[in-house]
């Protein structure tokens, strides 16, 4: 699994619920984040480097947990990889399309993800209209640990009021198009209109990976949120910045101990 930082650990947590018996390798490019302000060419270059490294470590399936990387560089990543690659955009879009009755959906994400219109294109293929809203303050607030802070709630009220304005009032699904956002899902549930369902692209991606690997989702239903690894399963982490910092923040995002972290220096 690849992410620009620690946000993708929400995807990893969902995957552990669905497939507890797998061995997981997680690469967080923490030295070069944020990806949201970088060009598509730069993002593709960074991710391809990391993907090749993960393949050298024995990766047999690659999950691009970063919405920005998926939105900006998925074709380039797939071309460079020797194994199957799954991004987070299409599973999230498919889940949103299945959930909406009005065929109108609001997508919130980083500036780069929204500017790419990746969700808009993916939802359009399902016959759904997407209204996109960039919410750049959410990531730093989540990383600060302010998941239930009054400031975060006020920011969310402003963002969602703008997101569901005008023609978007008819939207009945909110897509969390950033892997940081599941950590503030309870807060977003309180702030979003009552009739709106929330679709988490992290959970949708885990469900799709489980389906591809022939894993039963019924077992995951009973384990949801437990985050227990199966016997013999392993978690190994790679970070391009401080391994100690990754351990501390990663444990909060994953909800499991983040212990086996190796610092990796990818040369430019």
Q: Return the bridge partners of 86, or none.
A: 63
178 counts as catalytic: yes
Q: Is 261 helix (H, G, I), strand (E, B) or coil?
A: strand
C-beta of residue 193 within 8 angstroms of C-beta of residue 102: no
Distances in whole angstroms, Cα of residue 136 to Cα of each of 159, 164, 184, 233: 10, 17, 14, 36
In whole angstroms, give the CA distance from residue 24 to residue 238.
Answer: 11
Q: Is 105 helix (H, G, I), strand (E, B) or coil?
A: strand
In whole angstroms, give the CA distance from residue 42 to residue 35.
Answer: 9
Q: What is the largest CA-CA distance in the chain?
A: 52
Contacts for 150 with CB less than 8 Å, ≥ 6 apart: none
Out of 16, 19, 44, 66, the active site residue is: 66
In whole angstroms, give the CA distance from residue 1 to residue 65.
Answer: 7
In whole angstroms, give the CA distance from residue 135 to residue 185.
Answer: 14
Out of 178, 188, 191, 199, the active site residue is: 178
In whole angstroms, give the CA distance from residue 162 to residue 158.
Answer: 6
Distances in whole angstroms, Cα of residue 244 to Cα of each of 53, 90, 129: 21, 33, 43
In whole angstroms, give the CA distance from residue 70 to residue 53.
Answer: 18
135 counts as catalytic: no
So which residues are the catalytic ones? Answer: 66, 178
């Amino acid at each position: 699994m690849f992410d620009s930082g620690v946000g993708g650990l929400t995807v990893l947590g969902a995957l552990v619920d669905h497939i507890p018996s797998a061995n997981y390798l997680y690469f967080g490019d923490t030295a070069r984040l944020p990806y949201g302000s970088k060009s598509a060419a730069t993002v593709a270059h960074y991710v391809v480097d990391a993907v090749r490294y993960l393949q050298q470590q024995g990766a047999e399936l690659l999950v691009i947990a970063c919405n920005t990387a998926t939105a900006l560089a998925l074709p380039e990543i797939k071309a460079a990889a020797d194994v199957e690659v799954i991004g987070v955009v299409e599973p999230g879009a498919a889940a949103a399309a299945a959930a909406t009755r009005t065929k109108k959906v609001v997508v919130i994400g980083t500036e780069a993800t929204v500017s790419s219109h990746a969700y808009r294109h993916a939802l359009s293929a399902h016959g759904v209209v997407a209204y996109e809203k960039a919410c750049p303050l959410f990531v730093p607030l989540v990383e600060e640990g302010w998941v239930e802070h009054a400031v975060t709630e006020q920011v969310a009220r402003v963002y969602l009021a703008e997101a569901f304005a005008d023609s978007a009032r008819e939207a009945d699904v909110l897509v969390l198009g950033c892997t940081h956002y599941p950590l503030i899902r309870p807060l977003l549930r309180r702030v979003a209109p009552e009739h709106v369902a929330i679709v988490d692209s992290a959970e949708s991606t885990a469900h799709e990976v489980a389906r591809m690997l022939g894993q039963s989702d019924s077992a995951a239903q009973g384990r949801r949120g437990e985050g227990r690894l199966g016997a013999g399963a392993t978690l190994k982490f790679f970070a391009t910045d401080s391994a100690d910092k990754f351990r501390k923040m990663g444990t909060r995002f994953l909800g499991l101990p983040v212990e086996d972290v190796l610092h990796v220096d990818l040369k430019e």
